[in-house]
Amino acid sequence: MRAGFLADGAIAGAAGTTALNIVTYLDMTLRARPASSTPERSAGRVAEVTHLNLGPEPQASNRRSGLGPLLGYGIGIAAGVGLALLTRGRPMPPALASGLLGGGVMTASGGSYAVFGVSDPRTWSRGDWLSDLIPHLAYGLVAATTWNRLRMPPT
């Protein structure tokens, strides 16, 4: 096994997260929809649960705005590292890796919304689900492709 497989997993997760954000921002642009407040609200709940003082308003609001996307990057990168550990550094069939990564990250983010009481995925509309599913599919495809490319033997 080539050294650095955990770093390769982190890189794959970061690439996937970038793809997820690009697809999300394209959707916002094309449909003229506002940004979701869910990441910011999740960051606020994490701060509350961990007793992290974000300071007075408006600084606390600004910190929540920054922490929300950082939580998303953390989940995406952690999923890539998780794949690296699961596969012990070996490439994985692309369709399986894409589904595992995209579904895993979607479950982790949606699950955290439910756990923290920020959103209840059971109440989402079909449009809400599509707005969440499509970027996570992009995440899975890009992260899996990146992972497999990084794990190819040097030529």
Q: Give DSSP secondary structure letters for 62-105.
A: HHHHHHHHHHHHHHHHHHHHHHHHHHTT----HHHHHHHHHHHH
**SS3 of residue 56 by DSSP:** coil
| Residue pLDDT, tens place only, 92-112 | 999 999 999 999 999 999 888
The pLDDT of residue 2 is: 54
| Residue pLDDT, tens place only, 40-95 | 999 999 999 999 999 999 999 999 999 999 999 999 999 999 999 999 999 999 99
The pLDDT of residue 137 is: 96
pLDDT band at 153 (very low <50, low <70, confident <90, very high): confident
pLDDT at 147 over 70: yes
CA Rg value for the chain: 17
Would you kindly state where each structural domain of the chain is located, as residue ranges? 5-150
- The residue to which tokens 């497999």 are assigned: 148
Q: Which tokens go with 50?
A: 């961990």
The pLDDT of residue 3 is: 60
